[in-house]
């Protein structure tokens, strides 16, 4: 039976999963990760608090374990993430604003240089927007205004000219104020000649919130700018306990995301935000919610897995 990645590859896309260092010693987990998926994204190990916990002191050991796994299994790696307001070590926010740009440029340069050749795409800037489409406050925004985004992209491109560079956010999957803001931002970046290859749509969906409004049309408008689109962190949570209705809605959401990506030529692939409920971020962040992933806690495929397979043209 073809894997999800093989099915996706036949359609010109990849199919990937997030993972994290504490999960890799789980042999049953690693076996599926290494076989079913053609791309992996480190859930935490390339974030600033891990890679530069003190200024100028870089530690890439955890991220290297992820790129090693990928090399051993013939997978590509999405680097996640260079500039983000969260999981940011305290020293960055404590800098005088006049020193933030140099610190950011150095961080981007060191990390993107270290992973040159091992990371094929970077979430250079993660989650720059508030829900209403205004720019989110962060040490970077405070110091540089929205120019921090162009500066980060230019630094990443200088360090690794081959990597595909993305801006990534959540709740931009459908048409709406937040995706309009992303559309305006990337249009302006392209007009200014800033190196930018794509937009990442995280796609942390929830059964109780409905499916994003016109996801395919939204993807297409970014593609029409000449950008790639990637679904970078797909999962579909629900209020527990799961029942057959919620499970059916979840399967339909996974199917619809897959169909939207298949329908848009510039949608390059889909990454699930880990493939199993065993290692989901959801229950600790949204108490009472979960069951968000393609496989259950015993690593058995759920109906959503079959729905994705079918959408990808599998049996
Ligand atoms: O490493 C410490 C460990 O030492 C400590 O014992 C433990 C106790 O809580 O915490 C561990 O850190 C946790 C870390 O994951 C590593 O497991 C943090 O508390 C926890 O908050 C952190 O959660 C991560 C979250 O980002 C933080 O924002 C999730 O694993 C990760 O999946 C999630 O991923 C984000 C994407 O980066 C961006 N998009 C949204 C997505 C989901 O929130």
Question: What are the DSSP calls for the chain, one per residue?
Answer: ---HHHHHHHTT-EEEEEE-GGGTT-HHHHHHHHHH-SEEEESSTTSHHHH-SBTTB---HHHHHHHHHHHHTT-EEEEEEEE-SSS--HHHHHS-GGGHHHHHHHHHHHHHHHTTTT-SEEEEEE--B-TTSSBPP-HHHHHHTTHHHHHHHHHHHHH-TTSEEEEEESS-SSSSHHHHHHHHHHHHHHHTT----EEEE--EEEGGG---TTHHHHHHHHHTTT-EEEEEEEEEEEESSP-HHHHHHHHHHHHHHHHHHHHSTTEEEEEES-SBGGG-SHHHHSTTEE--SSB-TTSPBPHHHHHHHHHTT--
233 catalytic residue (yes or no): yes
Q: How many CB atoms lie within 10 A of CB 283?
A: 15
**Protein residue with least CA distance to atom 13, ligand 1:** 44
Mean pLDDT of 8-15: 98
CA 300 to chain centroid:
24
Mutation probe of ligand 1 site: the residue of 19, 62, 281 with most atoms within 8 A of C-beta: 281
> Which pLDDT belongs to residue 191?
98
Among residues 6, 131, 233, 265, the one annotated as catalytic is: 233
**Protein residue with least CA distance to atom 35, ligand 1:** 43
Give 180-232 pLDDT, tens digit per residue: 999 999 999 999 999 999 999 999 999 999 999 999 999 999 999 999 999 99
Question: pTM here?
Answer: 0.98
Taking the CA of residue 47 as reference, the ligand 1 atom at the shortest distance is: 37
Mutation probe of ligand 1 site: the residue of 17, 18, 23, 44 with most atoms within 8 A of C-beta: 44
Distances (CA, A) of 96 to 54, 55, 148, 315: 16, 13, 15, 58
Q: Calculate the dihedral angle through the C-alpha atoms of 111, 42, 204, 142, rounding to the nearest 10 degrees.
A: -20
> Which pLDDT belongs to residue 230?
99
Taking the CA of residue 202 as reference, the ligand 1 atom at the shortest distance is: 39
Mean pLDDT of 121-136: 98
Confidence of residue 165 (pLDDT cuts 50, 70, 90): very high
> Which pLDDT belongs to residue 172?
98
**Protein residue with least CA distance to atom 17, ligand 1:** 44
**pLDDT above 90: residue 14:** yes
Greatest distance between any 2 Cα atoms in the chain: 58
Per the DSSP assignment, residues forming a β-bridge with 167 are 125, 199
Q: Which CATH superfamily is domain 4-311 in?
A: Glycosidases (3.20.20.80)
Share of the chain above pLDDT 70, in %: 100
**pLDDT above 90: residue 77:** yes
> Which pLDDT belongs to residue 315?
81
């Amino acid at each position: 039976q073809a894997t999800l990645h093989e099915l996706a590859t036949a359609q010109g896309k990849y199919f990937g999963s997030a993972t994290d260092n504490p999960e890799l010693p789980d042999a049953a987990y690693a076996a599926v990760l290494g076989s079913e998926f053609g791309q992996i994204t480190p859930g935490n190990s390339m974030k600033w608090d891990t890679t530069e916990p003190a200024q100028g002191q870089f530690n890439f050991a955890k991220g290297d374990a992820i790129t090693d796994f990928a090399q051993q299994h013939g997978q590509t790696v999405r680097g996640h993430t260079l500039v983000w307001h969260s999981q940011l070590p305290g020293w960055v926010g404590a800098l005088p604003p006049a020193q933030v740009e140099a610190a950011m440029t150095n961080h981007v340069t060191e990390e993107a240089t270290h992973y040159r050749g091992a990371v094929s795409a970077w979430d250079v800037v993660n989650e720059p927007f508030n829900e209403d489409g205004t720019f989110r406050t962060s040490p970077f925004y405070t110091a540089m205004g929205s120019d921090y985004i162009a500066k980060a992209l230019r630094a990443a491109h200088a360090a690794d000219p081959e990597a595909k560079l993305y801006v990534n956010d959540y709740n931009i999957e459908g048409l709406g104020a937040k995706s309009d803001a992303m559309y305006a931002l990337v249009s302006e970046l392209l007009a200014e000649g800033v190196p930018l290859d794509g937009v990442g749509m995280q796609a942390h969906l929830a059964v109780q919130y409905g499916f994003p409004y016109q996801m395919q049309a939204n993807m297409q408008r970014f593609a029409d700018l000449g950008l790639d689109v990637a679904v970078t962190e797909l999962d579909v949570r629900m209020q527990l306990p799961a029942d057959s209705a919620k499970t059916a809605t979840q399967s339909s959401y996974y199917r619809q995301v897959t169909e939207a990506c298949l329908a848009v030529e510039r949608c390059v692939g889909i990454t699930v935000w880990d493939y199993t409920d065993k290692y989901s971020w959801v229950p600790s962040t949204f108490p009472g919610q979960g069951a968000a992933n393609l496989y259950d806690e015993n690593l058995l495929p759920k109906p959503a897995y079959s729905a994705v397979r079918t959408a990808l043209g599998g049996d």
